[in-house]
Structure 1
Amino acid sequence: MWAKTAERSMTLTELLTKMQPRSKQNIFYFGDFWEVMEKRGFGPMLALPSFIACTPVGAIPGIPSLTGVTILLIALQILLGSRHPWLPRKVMDIQCEAHRLRDMLKKVKPYAARVDRFLVPRCFFMRQPVFRSLIALNCVGCGLVMIPLELIPFMGLIPALAVFIMSVGMATDDGAVALVGVSISLFGFVLGFQHLPAAVS
């Protein structure tokens, strides 16, 4: 299903560098990242919306829902076996202030370089369709619960973090990291469903 969707595994630092807005860019659009990463597989595609949702930008009203919908649409395409991800124009036009994203990436990159030492291609059973589908299904669930959880401050952070970790595992071909993301997503589901009645009431 996901075979040959990426040219090669990436490091976390490389992935974050691809998210970097251009120096003279004032507004960063999701479509900008999409054009750069379109041929690198679904992992990087899931990384950007989940990363944005994990940053202070994710506290802006509407952003958790938009990123959740984006994650949901990409993960559904994985389950359907699409080889090339597609998103509607409205999602591609999701934007944030470039300097905010640039500043966040600058702060995170030194830690990413340290994490890269532990990210290695392993647990190759995760390449099997059944396990890939399991990850995609968890991403679908995370994207779905992020929408109502936006009404509860910071609750959407857990599913967003889970998706980011799973996407890093996919991008770096590290199945062990992807499994960590799956575990966090399961915890997020339990916590999320406990708070969903308060969110929708």
Structure 2
Amino acid sequence: MWEKTAERSMTLYELLGKMQPRARQDIFEFADFWEVMEKRGFGPMLALPSFIACTPIGAIPGIPSLAGGTILLIALQILLGRRHPWLPKKVLELQCDADQLRYIVGKVKPIAVRVDRFLVPRCFFMRQTIFRSFIALCCVGCGIVMIPLELIPFMGLVPAFAVFIMAIGMATDDGAVALVGVSLSLFGFVLGFEQLATAVG
């Protein structure tokens, strides 16, 4: 169960590279990433909206809710057993500033090179249906809680970061990293509901 293999489906550096807009591109659409990555599985698909929600772009009003809703839609499809993710046209047409995203990804990619040394295929129980479903449920919960947490500054970062970690684990076949993301998501639920209860009270 804990054995390693020689190859990964994808590295974190490669995943970030796919998120980086082209040099002369002014506007980045979700569809640009989707067309390239839709056949690479659900991990990369979950990575983009969660990554954006973790960056300064995520501070723009409405972005956390849109990212949360997108995560929710993708995670539900994992639970439904779909082989390839699907999103409505309205979601695929979502845009952000290409220069800002290009700059952020460029800053993170050198860190990704160092992180990639520790990302190896392992803990293959995560490929079992029951565990994939559990990851998907955690992502569903994170997507849902991100929507009301937009009302509390920076609180949406916790569930968004948890989804990003789970997505990295899925994309790189690293079940240990996926487990870290699951733990973060459970922490995010508790913290998020406490903050919401405080805000309502």
Q: Name the TM-score class by shorter chain.
A: over 0.9
**Residue identity in the other structure for 1:191:** L
Aligned residue runs from structure 1 range 136-175, under 5 A:
136-175=136-175
- Name 2:4's counterpart in structure 1: none
Is 1:102 the equivalent of 2:123?
A: no
How far does the alpha carbon of each residue in 1:154-177 deviate from its partner, in whole angstroms, 9 at most, with x for none?
A: 000000000000000000000000
Q: For residue 200 of structure 1, report the CA deviation from its aligned partner.
A: 5.3
**Residue identity in the other structure for 1:92:** L
**Residue identity in the other structure for 1:64:** P
Percent identity of equivalent pairs: 80
Kept after mapping to 2: 8 A contact 1:148/1:199: no
Aligned residue runs from structure 1 range 114-129, under 5 A:
114-129=114-129
- Name 1:91's counterpart in structure 2: 91
- Name 1:11's counterpart in structure 2: 11
Q: For residue 108 of structure 1, report the CA deviation from its aligned partner.
A: 0.3
How far does the alpha carbon of each residue in 1:34-68 deviate from its partner, in whole angstroms, 9 at most, with x for none?
A: 00001000000000000000000000000000000
TM-score for the superposition, normalised by structure 1:
0.94
CA distance in 2, matches of 1:28, 1:18: 12
**Residue identity in the other structure for 2:88:** P
TM-score for the superposition, normalised by structure 2:
0.94
CA distance in 2, matches of 1:200, 1:27: 37
**Residue identity in the other structure for 1:179:** L
- Name 2:178's counterpart in structure 1: 178
4+ residue segments displaced more than 3 Å:
198-201
**Residue identity in the other structure for 1:87:** L
- Name 1:4's counterpart in structure 2: none
**Residue identity in the other structure for 1:177:** V
CA distance in 2, matches of 1:76, 1:30: 19
> What SS does structure 1 have at the residue aligned with 2:24?
coil
- Aligned pair count reads 194
- Name 1:73's counterpart in structure 2: 73
CA distance in 1, matches of 2:39, 2:12: 17
**Residue identity in the other structure for 2:158:** I
CA distance in 2, matches of 1:176, 1:84: 24
Kept after mapping to 2: 8 A contact 1:69/1:143: yes
Q: For residue 84 of structure 1, report the CA deviation from its aligned partner.
A: 1.4
- Name 2:3's counterpart in structure 1: none
Q: For residue 197 of structure 1, report the CA deviation from its aligned partner.
A: 2.9
CA distance in 2, matches of 1:90, 1:160: 21
Q: For residue 73 of structure 1, report the CA deviation from its aligned partner.
A: 0.2
How far does the alpha carbon of each residue in 1:2-22 deviate from its partner, in whole angstroms, 9 at most, with x for none?
A: xxxxxx610000000011101
Any unmatched runs of 5+ in structure 1? 1-7
**Residue identity in the other structure for 1:151:** L
Q: For residue 193 of structure 1, report the CA deviation from its aligned partner.
A: 0.6
> What SS does structure 1 have at the residue aligned with 2:99?
helix
How far does the alpha carbon of each residue in 1:73-102 deviate from its partner, in whole angstroms, 9 at most, with x for none?
A: 000000000111111111111111000000
> What SS does structure 1 have at the residue aligned with 2:84?
coil
